[in-house]
């Protein structure tokens, strides 16, 4: 079968990568147990890094990127899946070390696939995507450490991004008093619609704290920024509170010290959705299917086609994208 795909190649001079939409054949796809006809993919921050050649996330070219995909099974050598089954795939380094979702077909390992939860469509799964799955994992992890809505305000940093905006929505739906931190004041109405009760300028948090400990503010935090921002958050967490660290758009280095941990007993918890095991993923997807108001989330999404992906990825790296972007195949 023929298929269209967005293919990445190394520039001949070795100075970067180039992306073009091309016609391929099914035989070009890597080996795998299940052939999926993709209906939708997404554009995430990691996709933008891959499309720009940043971080050496892809080691072998040519390459089809796209870390998320949802669609229907075309054929399967695994008894768990049959033609016509609706499936979703996020993580497992698909789109990095394995050809991903920016194509009409993908051949993948059955272990990486999950049935689409009841009540969701393939498009809904990509409206949520890796970003929403990570937000759900972060919220569940915080609640597993004892966070409850009656403890006080919960902060979400990078709140207009895909992960942050979904985190705002899920926390609000669970009954939390959500403060959204953003550098896009023009998106205030968008954040309020998602459920944020308070919106603050990210400049309040973007510098390292001027003292080891600041007045206690947050009962918990889902952080999509990292860097100096999470250092500032640690200094403002209430006694025994936790920050779930989900992203590093603000950098990998966290200029903090031991005092928030030693004197307030705060915790920093890393959240990874790439290698999360199947039972954890299934629990998160089922929670998303029942908790999220999909009418709200669908209204915050921009839909594009393959040819538009490189330009949108560049805008995402430059901070010019709010909310979720999905790719219709």
The pTM score is: 0.93
- Based on the fold, state whether residues 109 and 135 are members of the same structural domain: no
Write out the two tokens for 152: 């006080």
Whichever domain contains 306, its CATH number is 3.90.180.10
Asked whether residue 279 is assigned to any structural domain, the reply reads no
- The mean pLDDT value for 185-205 works out to 96
Give the pLDDT confidence score for residue 13 in this predicted structure. 67
Asked whether residue 42 is assigned to any structural domain, the reply reads yes
Per-residue pLDDT tens over the stretch 67-88: 999 999 999 999 999 999 999 9
Please tell me the distance from the alpha carbon of residue 51 to that of residue 285, in angstroms, as a whole number.
27
Asked whether residue 121 is assigned to any structural domain, the reply reads no
- The mean pLDDT value for 312-317 works out to 96
How many beta carbons lie within 10 A of that of residue 314, not counting itself? Answer: 14
Asked whether residue 275 is assigned to any structural domain, the reply reads no
- Based on the fold, state whether residues 190 and 109 are members of the same structural domain: no
Write out the two tokens for 78: 């695994």
- Based on the fold, state whether residues 151 and 212 are members of the same structural domain: yes
**Phi-psi map region of 317: left, alpha, beta (phi>0 left; psi -120 to 50 alpha):** alpha
Write out the two tokens for 35: 């052939």
How many beta carbons lie within 10 A of that of residue 56, not counting itself? Answer: 8
Asked whether residue 41 is assigned to any structural domain, the reply reads yes
Those residues whose C-beta lies under 8 Å from the C-beta of residue 94, and which sit 6 or more positions away, are 66, 67, 69, 100, 101, 106, 108, 112
Note whether 292 and 173 are within 8 A (CB). Answer: yes
- The mean pLDDT value for 170-197 works out to 96
Residue 15 has pLDDT above 90, yes or no: no
Provide the number of structural domains found in the chain. Answer: 2
Asked whether residue 69 is assigned to any structural domain, the reply reads yes
Note whether 148 and 177 are within 8 A (CB). Answer: no
Range of the domain at 169: 130-270
- Based on the fold, state whether residues 206 and 311 are members of the same structural domain: no
Note whether 49 and 55 are within 8 A (CB). Answer: yes
Asked whether residue 293 is assigned to any structural domain, the reply reads no
- Based on the fold, state whether residues 102 and 210 are members of the same structural domain: no
Note whether 106 and 100 are within 8 A (CB). Answer: yes
Whichever domain contains 166, its CATH number is 3.40.50.720
- Based on the fold, state whether residues 103 and 141 are members of the same structural domain: no
CA dist list (Å): 303 to 126, 212, 222, 326, 328: 10, 44, 26, 5, 7
Note whether 68 and 15 are within 8 A (CB). Answer: no
- Based on the fold, state whether residues 112 and 134 are members of the same structural domain: no
Residue 11 has pLDDT above 90, yes or no: no
Strands 34-42, 324-328: parallel, antiparallel or unpaired by DSSP? antiparallel
- Based on the fold, state whether residues 140 and 108 are members of the same structural domain: no
Asked whether residue 186 is assigned to any structural domain, the reply reads yes
- The mean pLDDT value for 253-261 works out to 95
Per-residue pLDDT tens over the stretch 199-235: 999 999 999 999 999 999 999 999 999 999 999 999 9
- Based on the fold, state whether residues 160 and 264 are members of the same structural domain: yes
- Based on the fold, state whether residues 111 and 215 are members of the same structural domain: no
Confidence tier at 14 by pLDDT (50, 70, 90): low
Write out the two tokens for 141: 């992890």
- Based on the fold, state whether residues 191 and 240 are members of the same structural domain: yes
């Amino acid at each position: 079968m023929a298929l269209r795909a967005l293919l990445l190649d190394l520039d001949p001079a070795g100075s970067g990568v180039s992306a073009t939409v091309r016609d391929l054949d099914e035989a070009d796809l890597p080996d795998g147990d299940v052939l999926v006809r993709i209906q939708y993919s997404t554009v995430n921050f990691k996709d933008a890094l891959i499309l720009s050649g940043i971080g050496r996330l892809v080691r072998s070219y040519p390459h089809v990127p796209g870390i998320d995909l949802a669609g229907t099974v075309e054929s399967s050598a695994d008894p768990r899946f049959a033609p016509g089954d609706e499936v979703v795939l996020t993580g497992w380094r698909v789109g990095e070390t394995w050809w991903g979702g920016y194509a009409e077909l993908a051949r993948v390992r059955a272990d990486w696939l999950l049935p689409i939860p009841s009540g969701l469509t393939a498009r809904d799964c990509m409206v949520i995507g890796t970003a929403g799955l990570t937000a759900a994992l972060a919220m569940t992890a915080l609640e597993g450490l004892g966070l409850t809505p009656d403890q006080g305000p919960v902060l979400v940093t990078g709140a207009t991004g895909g992960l942050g905006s979904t985190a705002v929505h899920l926390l609000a739906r669970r009954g939390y008093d959500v403060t959204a931190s953003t550098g896009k004041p023009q998106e205030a109405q968008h954040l309020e619609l998602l459920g944020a009760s308070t919106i603050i300028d990210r400049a309040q948090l973007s510098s390292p704290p001027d003292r080891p400990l600041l007045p206690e503010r947050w009962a918990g935090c889902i952080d999509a920024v990292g860097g100096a921002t999470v250092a500032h958050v640690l200094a403002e967490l209430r006694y025994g509170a936790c920050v779930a660290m989900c992203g590093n758009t603000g950098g990998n280095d966290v200029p903090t010290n031991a005092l928030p941990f030693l004197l307030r007993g705060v915790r920093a918890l890393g959240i990874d959705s790439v290698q999360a095991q199947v039972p954890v993923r299934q629990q998160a997807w089922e929670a998303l299917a029942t908790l999220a108001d999909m009418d709200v989330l669908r209204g915050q999404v921009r839909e594009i086609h393959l040819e538009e992906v490189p330009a949108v990825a560049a805008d995402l790296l430059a901070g010019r994208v709010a909310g979720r972007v999905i790719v219709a195949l």
